[in-house]
Amino acid sequence: MHMPAEQAFWCLVQICDKYLPGYYSAGLEAIQLDGEIFFALLRRASPLAHRHLRRQRIDPVLYMTEWFMCIFARTLPWASVLRVWDMFFCEGVKIIFRVALVLLRHTLGSVEKLRSCQGMYETMEQLRNLPQQCMQEDFLVHEVGPGLGTLHTCFGPSPPSSAFWYSFLYLGN
């Protein structure tokens, strides 16, 4: 973000208060809730990746906390971060979920990719070293856009109560 320090500060305050409430609280309750919602979304978007993470006993909070709390600023190249943030400011927190789903689908979503992830360590290394394709801004924008749909589309006609509650309160959908 290219702006004076004071504007950057107030922008950060708005992100924390309006877009990501509870993410930075002492107990990280909102991040934990979003981790559960994300894992349920992953089950629908990429059953293979979901099953692998569950078998390896890798809790979503282990890999998605940095992604969500930093809005991918520590994960993606700067050009991609700016594109993700543009979408985030236009559409809200659901973009964070969409980007995370794209990253997991393309990192752990095929049998070939899972062959190199026999244990927890290998899987976490794979998630730390995302495929180069996922780092490209145009690829992310294309994949995040219309391909994944909304949270409601992902869950089908009757979403679980936690996802509905989350969508109603935070996304306004």
pLDDT above 90 covers a percentage of the chain that reads: 63
Please give the domain boundaries of the chain with CATH numbers for all domains: 25-171 (1.10.472.80)
Q: From CA 38, how far away is CA 105, in angstroms rounded?
A: 13
pLDDT digits (tens, 9 = 90+) for 95-126: 999 999 999 999 998 888 888 888 999 999 99
User: Which two structure tokens, joined as six digits, stand for 27?
Assistant: 């107990």
Calculate the average pLDDT of the chain.
84
pLDDT at 170: 47
* Model confidence at 39: pLDDT above 60: yes
Q: From CA 157, how far away is CA 152, in angstroms rounded?
A: 7
* Alpha helices, DSSP H, located in 109-146: 111-115, 120-128, 132-135, 137-144
Query: Is the Cβ–Cβ distance between 93 and 33 less than 8 Å?
Result: no
Say how many CA atoms lie within 13 Å of 37 toward its Cβ. Answer: 26
Q: From CA 132, how far away is CA 92, in angstroms rounded?
A: 26
pTM: 0.80
Residue 146 pLDDT class (50, 70, 90 cuts): low
Q: From CA 169, how far away is CA 108, in angstroms rounded?
A: 31
